[in-house]
Amino acid sequence: MRTSRVMWVALLSVMFLSVSVWAADELDLKDVKCVLNPKSAAKASTGVDYKGKKVFFCCNNCSSKFEKEPATYAVAANAQLVKTKQAKQVKCPISGHDVDKDQKAKVDGIDVFFCCGNCQGKVAKAEGKEQMEIVFSDKSFKKGFEIVKSEKK
């Protein structure tokens, strides 16, 4: 009787570890920073549901703050969705038109493409928070990005 209980515990442990490893492999958080504290690394254990995907934080305090006021941190959260490949660019985030691959700018380490030199120039002239707001505000995110649909396994 004791042997079968030990075997069940061992089997369940292996199944749990397998699921944990599979889930951890799905997203690469190597260079991803906390949505609220961009000087700290994001941790997989702090994921919070956002737009049908997950955003990550350095600690549970940050994730709790985000859950209370997600709109306040939408720009950083939207950028993190793109950085973690949970969202992808499909149009110009300023105009909503098709992109020209020759018109691009790096925003928060992400290559972002634009429809024309005017849109690209607007972002290139901006810096820091203003640049992030232009590209990753909820309004721009709706125009230029879409959530990547999960593959069913």
The first and second tokens of residue 102, run together, are: 């020759």
The first and second tokens of residue 70, run together, are: 């997600």
pLDDT in tens, 131-149: 999 999 999 999 999 999 9
Q: Which residues contact 92 (CB under 8 A, 6 or more apart)?
A: 98, 99, 113, 114, 115, 116, 119, 143, 144
Where are the domains positioned within the chain? 2-147
55: left (phi over 0), alpha (psi -120 to 50) or beta: beta
Q: What is the predicted pLDDT for the residue at 73?
A: 98
pLDDT in tens, 19-69: 433 344 468 899 999 999 999 999 999 999 999 999 999 999 999 999 999
pLDDT in tens, 74-89: 999 999 999 999 999 9
The first and second tokens of residue 116, run together, are: 């024309």
108, 76, 51, 81: CA torsion to nearest 10: 20
Q: What is the predicted pLDDT for the residue at 19?
A: 42
pLDDT band at 100 (very low <50, low <70, confident <90, very high): very high
Reply yes or no on whether the pLDDT at 6 is more than 80: no
Name the residue with higher pLDDT: 98 or 151: 98
Q: What is the predicted pLDDT for the residue at 2?
A: 57
pLDDT band at 5 (very low <50, low <70, confident <90, very high): low
Q: What is the predicted pLDDT for the residue at 7?
A: 53
- For 38-64, b where at least 16 C-beta lie within 10 A, e where not — what string? eeeebbeebbbebbebbbbbbbeebbe
Number of other residues whose CB lies within 10 A of the CB of residue 20: 11
Measured distance CA(126)–CA(104) in Å, rounded? 14
Number of other residues whose CB lies within 10 A of the CB of residue 137: 15
Q: What is the predicted pLDDT for the residue at 21?
A: 37
